[in-house]
Structure 1
Amino acid sequence: MEQPRRIDARSLRGLAHPLRMTILEVLQLDGPATSTTLSSRLGESTGTISWHLRLLAEHGYIEEDVERGTKRERWWRAVPRQTILNQADFVDDPETKGSLQLYLRQLVQLYFDRVQNFVDEDWDGEWQHASEISDWRDLRLTKTQLRALNAELGEVINRHKAAADTRAADAQRADGQPADTETPADALPVVVQIQSFPRRPTG
């Protein structure tokens, strides 16, 4: 498995733009698209979308989907590789501080939009009951304990993701043999978001 990509200062500046982050979000969640379809969905001109697509490709976040593309229209897809951003990498880099703040603020906005879309959509009672929007505000943790909490949550999510990936791989077996496991017919894409951070007491 390919190692996660660690975002450096140059690639952060290439990504830290509201429209580029939104384009990448759409490609990651909904799959390959053309500048025309992205233009229609995001309400921007095809020229503007194409320019941002080229920048995302230049910085390695997306790539051309040559199997779908034609002479008249290019398809783009997100590069299937996990990215990691460590804020500590940029603490002593004042030139990157603005890009980091823009990136983080837009990331929070994208997270909010995902939840807002779920709330606004008409889901049946079972999906609403299975979903969760909760918070815990009374924890008192050290930095080490908070890192441990995040690591444990990540392990649980990765375990479920690995099982889902196995089911998806079995479903694509080309040897004609029955799959060892199958993805249930009612399975849908699910977003899990983790936000854990310290809060400065007031008063």
Structure 2
Amino acid sequence: MSDEPEGTPRPAARPTRRIDARSLRGLAHPLRMNIFELLSLDGPATATGLAERLGENTGTVSWHLRHLAEHGFIEEEVGRGTKRERWWKRVGVTNELNTADFRDDPDSSGALSVYLHELVQLYFSRVVKYVGEEWDDGWRSAGTISDWRDLRMTPDQLAALNAELMAVVARHTPAQDAEPAPDARPVVVQLQSFPRKERGTG
């Protein structure tokens, strides 16, 4: 799964990988994207544990795990588990996807469509889960679900806005070896910014 939108500034310590057509086709499947999401958010897991959380057959999940590993998105956690029960973790790189790379590649159009639609569904599901959970007043008032609809921009202006917002997030992203505060929790920041086609009023 693409971890951040195109052009995101990255902390220097974490390497990046640009998703190509082959790796896109390897990732663009609803179940594989859900598996990758769980490993990315919650850390290493076994096929059995993932199958229970996803309501899937363990054999099916195992097959998709091997597929994700073949395409370099996950790897086996060395020194943990057994021959019968392997632990899997996300590879420690940030995946970048630029949709322009596939504009003239008809063989990748189907995979790109699946990937983008599933990515939007994953983002939506995160928000729905948060809204339905119980949080104390401190956390509830700290979170936000906001939108702004009165902007008019050129493509360059929109790209500049995105770069500035990503730089803010990057400044608040701790180094991988930094010790979090005792009361810190995992936080997801989602950003969707896109042009809207104007409709007639009559």
Q: TM-score, normalised by structure 1?
A: 0.90
Counterpart of 2:147?
Answer: 135
Counterpart of 2:10?
Answer: none
* Aligned mates of 2:113, 2:171 — CA distance in 1: 32
Q: CA RMSD in A?
A: 1.1
Counterpart of 1:169?
Answer: 177
Residue among 106, 126, 137 paired with 1:125: 137
Q: Give the letter aligned to residue 104 of structure 1.
A: L
Residues 47-91 of structure 1: per-residue CA shift (max 9 Å, x gap): 100010000000000000022222331000011100110000011
Counterpart of 2:186?
Answer: 189
Identity %: 63
Determine which structure has the larger helix proportion and give its number: 1
Counterpart of 1:202?
Answer: 199
* Aligned mates of 1:96, 1:15 — CA distance in 2: 12
Q: Against the structure 1 CA distance between its residues 170 and 135, is the aligned structure 2 distance closer, same or farther, given a 3 Å change threshold?
A: closer
Moved over 4 A (4+): none
Q: Give the letter aligned to residue 51 of structure 1.
A: W
List runs of 5+ in structure 2 lacking aligned partners: 1-12
Q: Give the letter aligned to residue 26 of structure 1.
A: L
Provide the secondary structure at the position in 1 that maps to 2:191: coil
List runs of 5+ in structure 1 lacking aligned partners: 172-182
Q: Give the letter aligned to residue 113 of structure 2.
A: Q
Q: Which has the larger radius of gyration?
A: 1
Greater alpha carbon shift after TM alignment, 68-77 vs 109-118:
68-77
Q: CA deviation at 1:170?
A: 4.7
Q: State the aligned residue count.
A: 188
Counterpart of 1:179?
Answer: none
Provide the secondary structure at the position in 1 that maps to 2:177: helix
Counterpart of 1:9?
Answer: 21
Q: TM-score, normalised by structure 2?
A: 0.90
